[in-house]
Structure 1
Amino acid sequence: MATNNQTTEQQQPQALRHQEVGHKSLLQSDALYQYILETSVYPREPQPMKELREITANHPWNLMTTSADEGQFLNMLLKLINAKNTMEIGVFTGYSLLATALALPEDGKILAMDINRENYEIGLPVIEKAGVAHKIDFREGPALPVLDQMLEDGKYHGTYDFIFVDADKDNYINYHKRLLDLVKIGGLIGYDNTLWNGSVVAPADAPMRKYVRYYRDFVIELNKALAADPRIEICQLPVGDGITLCRRIS
């Protein structure tokens, strides 16, 4: 039987590897996820995104960042749909925001909202150095009042090509009610973390981190609501911690 010290030594490389590759992946094999990153993601990752990813890895809340493979996915998706006018709710240090900004044309725009500007400013120098800061309209504070004002104004209805939501899971349903009026018909809304650390299929009494347990039921309800919403087509992908794409059809 291994001693405690031996166990710690054996576990440490795996823990470090999780930190490096992003533990939010739901792939059962760490080695397979590492293969994807090293073969397809890291070699093609734009230098500014690599720099921001490495800066964010030192943040005490680095678990909140978008994974590198999801950043690559978002970047390609935006190019495929020729997105120009986008929105992001939940920014953190801006990794997914940078992936978006790099994908948009020179006159593309992103309305970016987060309750914490301090975290956004960690990534801002990288964004500025990448030459895409002019595409971003960052607003600090809760997103729901901003969305309500946009809907009241009337001129923003159906104007967004793509909206990415990676924020407070207990408000996802509230965001959805508003965002469907703001995204254009044929446009996309992406909801992040819809598999929520795999907890969506875990028994209710399974051991979970406190924050995972708190948001679990909200994520489950969201998934049910999206699946039943006739105004959208959906595709739930096991990328990162799960992302559900919603294409507005009516």
Structure 2
Amino acid sequence: MSTNTGILQSKNLTKYILETSVFPREPKILKELRDATASHPWGFMGTAPDAGQLMALLLKLLNAKKTIEVGVFTGYSLLLTALSTPDDGKIVAIDPDREAYEIGQPFIKRAGVQHKIDFIESPALPVLDKLLEDPSNVGTFEFAFVDADKHNYWNYHERLVKLVKIGGLIIYDNTLWGGTVSWPEEDVPANKRESRQSALTFNKAIAGDSRIEISVASVGDGFTICRRAH
């Protein structure tokens, strides 16, 4: 099979999965937010709906009530998390870009889940360090989702693996970086090489972390799902 044929088949399979299993079950309010995000210059950064569907299922399997989101953008994954957790659930959502977050605010309000969300306008590392300073936060979160600056993924991981309880999940988005992690270096566009290298470095480090169990799912742009083992 040629590379081009493989790419075409992959796109066709993704289209099939979206049209058959994802879009028919996507909540209307999430679709509306996804449509609103599409016109944003960085709209491609939103969580892929097939990845979101998997995340919603995992949240419900965990019956997660206390979660963290590092990187919010317009809030597709945040709204999805809020819709997938109980009414008394709480989400610490961290992002320095309030302007993008405000795009999702009307949809979050209409969904009636705003009371679950504690949005913190800040870079994530200081907030995570602050959370760790309080012993009552350590090992108490059931779930964390990270879709932020790739070069800091390991720094986030070192903090989140302490905040998330044993048996809890941490998911990292974009770990396949458009498939370029498997490409020869010379085939990668120059503007993607630095982020690709960050993904490669993180993927190698996370695969060797004995504190967690992992599974890399090729949904969206790559989901690395980590279960804290000890």
Per the shorter chain, which TM-score range?
over 0.9
**CA deviation after TM superposition for structure 1 residue 68, in Å:** 1.0
Greater shift after overlay, 114-123 or 29-38?
Answer: 29-38
SS in 2 for 1:145: helix
Q: Take 1:177 and 1:189, find their aligned partners in 2: how far apart are those partners?
A: 11
- Correspondences of 1:106-125 after superposition (within 5 Å): 106-125=87-106
Structure 2 equivalent of residue 157 of structure 1:
138
- The one-character-per-residue Cα deviations of 1:86-144 (angstroms, maximum 9, x if unpaired) are 00000000001111000000000100011100000001100100011111000111010
Task: Read off the aligned partner of 1:239 and give its amino acid letter.
Answer: V
- Correspondences of 1:169-180 after superposition (within 5 Å): 169-180=150-161
* Contiguous gaps of at least 5 residues in structure 2: 1-6
SS in 2 for 1:155: helix
User: Are positions 1:242 and 2:229 aligned together?
Assistant: no
Are residues 27 and 121 of structure 1, via their aligned partners in 2, closer, same or farther at CA, if it must alter by over 3 Å?
A: farther
* Residues 27 and 33 in structure 1, CA contact (< 8 A), matched pair in contact too: no
Q: How many residues in Structure 1 have an aligned counterpart in Structure 2? A: 224
Which of 7, 16, 19 does residue 38 from structure 1 map onto?
19
Structure 2 equivalent of residue 215 of structure 1:
195
Task: Read off the aligned partner of 1:129 and give its amino acid letter.
Answer: R
Task: Read off the aligned partner of 1:231 and give its amino acid letter.
Answer: R
User: Are positions 1:80 and 2:61 aligned together?
Assistant: yes
Structure 2 equivalent of residue 22 of structure 1:
none
Ranges of 4+ aligned residues in structure 1 off by more than 2 Å: 26-32
Task: Read off the aligned partner of 2:215 and give its amino acid letter.
Answer: C
SS in 2 for 1:29: helix
Highest CA radius of gyration, 1 or 2?
1
User: Are positions 1:185 and 2:160 aligned together?
Assistant: no
> Could you tell me the percent identity over the aligned residues?
61
Structure 1 equivalent of residue 43 of structure 2:
62
* Residues 139 and 162 in structure 2, CA contact (< 8 A), matched pair in contact too: yes
TM-score norm. by structure 1 comes to 0.87
RMSD (Å) for aligned C-alpha atoms: 1.2
Q: Take 1:100 and 1:31, find their aligned partners in 2: how far apart are those partners?
A: 28
Q: Take 1:88 and 1:137, find their aligned partners in 2: how far apart are those partners?
A: 10
